[in-house]
Structure 1
Amino acid sequence: MPTFEHRRYTGQKTSDASDVFLSGVAFNPDSGGLIKNWPQQNYDNGVAKNSEAGRRYKRVIRILKRLRDRMQEDRVPEANDVASFLIECLVWNAPVEAFQHDTYSADLRYVVADIWNRTRKDEDCLEWGEVNELKYLFCSTQSWSRPQANNFLQAVWDYVGFK
């Protein structure tokens, strides 16, 4: 699928009076519309958070993705249609303190509980962003919803057997 550069202009100027912009990519899917992504910002922010979280941020994402896959194999309906990128973004919105436990199980428990609690109501996660921090995580243009994310997190909690 052909992609092209998408620019978001900041309204600022460089010292030589050039416009400052953020560079992303965009494409037109067969279904119509325009999809914009920010891969460099996503990468940079993910690397920074992973470093800040003692390299545990990416590991918790992998654990949750594997749990989602296993839940799908076990026919847990809340795991269906949960995008990998949604999981990454949900974990992105967990505080750094979530990744400072002695075990990955404790990190996972904190992350799931924290983001489940904060996705119960729209107003508690209205300002959440994708990892790139250039798009809102829960808005009408996304292929997922806050209730779907919350239901998935509840199902993860139950599936793992957290108390």
Structure 2
Amino acid sequence: MNYVIRLARAGDAQSLSAIRLQIDAETENLDREAGEDFMDELAFRDLIEADSKAAHNLFLVAETEGKLVGFSRCEGSTLKRSKHKVTFGIAILKTYWGFGIGSELLQHTTQWADGNDITKITLSVLETNQKAILLYQKAGFEVEGCLKNDKRLAEGNYLSTILMSRNT
């Protein structure tokens, strides 16, 4: 599959709103259930604009044949004691899992971090998302902790959240 990883643009906002909603409905691997914390086109435009101005934020999209199929985002801090680190998240439409898009989004992110004085990337991942945990470990991330029974799924089961980071 041919795809491109690039910076998010204001024109992506409508598509990002739609695919985020779809991704939330396709997997329990994320923090939200379908429709929760909905972001409309305007909210995504504002986020993309803010990220483009923030030195330690990065918003990437994955695009194939003119269609957005995933995205990743790093959010940093302006606080002096936290300027060295960012929090990372990734989301890809289920149909496009297994094509290396997540790996490439992560690779672009770590290269950006290495070139922008970011020495720590943090993320959280549900304990059941073993493919993501392995991907992060291959990229040099280590488990820093576990939040036991951190997420409650719709059917009432609890899952723990694994905290991971990559330090340079």
Q: Under a length normalisation based on structure 2, what TM-score does the superposition of the two structures give?
A: 0.29
Q: Which has the larger radius of gyration?
A: 1
* Structure with a larger share of its residues in strand: 2
